[in-house]
Chains A and B, each alone.
Chain A
């Protein structure tokens, strides 16, 4: 079974721009969660989607948004990028009813200059 895939793997953007990251979950998994990982703050939860509905949201500004499609694929968007948004963005999927047994993708490394 194919794992979680994330595209792109690496991205360089300029302050003020916006970016969209994509995540394809494991087949059959309906829940997708997004995390931001930085050396200083560690692994921080952004949001979780289940059946196209946001189920949980972390403590991030409104510039961070996401959505989930009917095929469970998910995207997250960051608008008006700041230098501090440079991070590894990780997506994780899980089966219905097993929300905490999460399977992570390799992440997207975003660098904001």
Chain B
């Protein structure tokens, strides 16, 4: 199974940047890293994915280290609605399904 390590919880002040780290030291060279989040009582929501270059979309930015062993999801101006569990994952190998760990519970505080 794909192994990722994320801190169990983090706090962030509203309006500040939230930086969520993920370690994926066993990722191979052609596997993308995917980030999802799950707001309480809702289904998970796709955020962003990347291979080696930094990526940005309307929701977040993804910074992947040059050795690809870790990444950071950045929410530039966190709001209360960003309070959720954030999952970092990658497909273990070939055409296999994503494995979701326990993720990071982000609490955005007013």
Q: State the main secondary structure of chain B at its contact with A.
A: loop
Whether, in the assembled complex, B21 has its beta carbon less than 8 Å from a beta carbon of chain A, the answer is: no
Q: How big is the A interface, by class?
A: 20 to 34
A-side contacts of B49, CB under 8 Å: 100-101
Segment of A40-48, A65-73, A74-82 engaged in the interface with chain B: A40-48
Report the minimal beta-carbon distance from A109 to chain B, rounded to whole angstroms.
9
A-side contacts of B101, CB under 8 Å: 42
Q: Are B96 and A56 in contact (CB under 8 A)?
A: yes
A-side contacts of B97, CB under 8 Å: 33, 45, 48, 56, 58
Which residues of B from 32 to 48 have beta carbons under 8 Å from A? 32, 34, 36, 42-46
Q: State the main secondary structure of chain A at its contact with B.
A: strand
Report the minimal beta-carbon distance from A33 to chain B, rounded to whole angstroms.
7
Contact of A56 among B36, B44, B95, B102 (CB under 8 A): B95
Report the minimal beta-carbon distance from A80 to chain B, rounded to whole angstroms.
25
